[in-house]
Amino acid sequence: MKFPTVTETIDGKDVELMMVETWDGLYAPIGVRKPEGDGPFPIVLLASGNGGEGLDWLRDAFQNRGYITDRLVSAGYACAWLRYRTEVELGYNNGGPLVRDVRQGRELFNRSPLEYEDEIAIIDFVKTLDFVDPDRVGIVGMSHGGEMVMKITSEYHGAAVGVASEPASHEYLWLTPDETAHVNEETGLRDIESMMMTETEKVRRRIDHDIASKRIAGIDTPILVMGRETDELQGIFRLNYELLEEAGKDVEWVSYDHDLHGYLYPKRGADGEYDVNEVQHEAIAFVIAYLDRHLK
């Protein structure tokens, strides 16, 4: 079932808000912008962080992190900010592959879908839009969204290209944290915000290589991995790239020196203007050129 599209003006631009049915029948919101004309256009789906917050998050993203969508639309792309369900701590590792069965004429799952599976449902949905070229869908994810690019492309081949920007792939690579991470005593969940994984070789020694290799083996999507020189997880970002390269995958690496985690998505400053420096201009131009090679 498709819900009616609602068009809102956010930051002076028309944004089409849509509700996308996920695999278990719940709905995830997305916000879409597109160039002038009827298309069909290539489309780039933008993910950031670990999910939740729904329509309010989308409206804020277009209002305060809309610079990246301005650049994509100017380059001839439709684009969408995505919301998906909240990340489940170690849900990907502990839950195992999703098994879908039927009971009493209705679907039965062995576990709830996870956030990256919502994005797969969204990819399939946008391919049905009349202004989208279904063969030219790109996915860009930052931080946990970058790890989602890895999870998606390991088992789904419907995206033409992926960009994993600062991918926090500790779960995907089955990383054992060191003493810089700890468990939150109140919740029993891991607190890895202060985890220090700057050195690639340190990270390489702490992952499960058999599991990581099996996951990476399923990838046949071209992927650009982006690092950040001063990030405490730079060793994870770089190893994410190196393992793909060692497995013979179509992968490229680029890294920039910037103080903002999520530099690919510039933020609006206190003065109401976007705070974008030359590093970000260069990084965004690099990503658009990479997308152009695969989507145009």
The tokens describing 9, both together, are 């003006």
The tokens of 263 are what? 């530099």
Percent of residues, the chain, with pLDDT higher than 90 = 91
Could you tell me which of 147, 84, 87, 143 has the C-alpha nearest to residue 118? 84
Terminus-to-terminus CA distance in the chain, angstroms? Answer: 31
Provide the 3-class DSSP secondary structure of residue 247: coil
Q: CA nearest 134: which of 145, 144, 146, 126?
A: 126
Mean predicted lDDT score pLDDT of the chain: 95
Residue 220 has a pLDDT of 98
Does 162 reside within a domain?
yes
The C-alpha atoms of residue 240 and residue 261 are separated, in whole angstroms, by 17
- Given a cut of 80, is residue 185 above it in pLDDT? no
Residue 276 has pLDDT above 90, yes or no: yes
Residue 1 lies in a domain: no
Which tens digits make up the pLDDT trace of 82-136? 999 999 999 999 999 999 999 999 999 999 999 999 999 999 999 999 999 999 9
Q: Is residue 246 domain-resident?
A: yes
- Assigned domain for 161 exists: yes
pLDDT confidence bin for 183, thresholds 50/70/90: confident
Answer whether residue 54 is part of any domain: yes
pLDDT at 57: 97
| Residue 1: predicted pLDDT | 55
The torsion defined by the Cα of 86, 92, 93 and 95, in degrees rounded to 10, comes to 100
Report, as an integer, the average pLDDT of 197-223: 97
> Which domain range does residue 195 map to?
6-295
Q: What b/e string do you get for 273-292 counting C-beta neighbours within 10 Å, with b at 16 or more?
A: ebebeebbeebbebbbebbe
Q: How many domains does the chain have?
A: 1
| pLDDT tens-digit map of 248-267 | 999 999 999 999 999 999 99
* Global confidence as pTM: 0.95
Strands 78-82 and 27-33: antiparallel
d(CA 56, CA 50): 15
pLDDT in tens, 139-165: 999 999 999 999 999 999 999 999 999
- Say yes or no to pLDDT of 190 above 80: no
Please report, for the domain that includes residue 291, its CATH number.
3.40.50.1820
- The pLDDT, as a whole number, for residue 143 is 96
pLDDT at residue 2 in the model: 66
The per-residue pLDDT for range 4-57, each reduced to its tens digit, is 799 999 999 999 999 999 999 999 999 999 999 999 999 999 999 999 999 999
pLDDT higher than 90, residue 179: no
Assigned domain for 92 exists: yes
Give Cα separations from 284 to 72, 82, 88, 287 (angstroms): 9, 19, 30, 5
Tell me the percentage of the chain whose pLDDT exceeds 70: 98
Q: What is the pLDDT of residue 46?
A: 98
Half-sphere exposure of 78 (CA within 13 A, CB side): 24
Is position 172 within any domain? yes
pLDDT of residue 180: 78
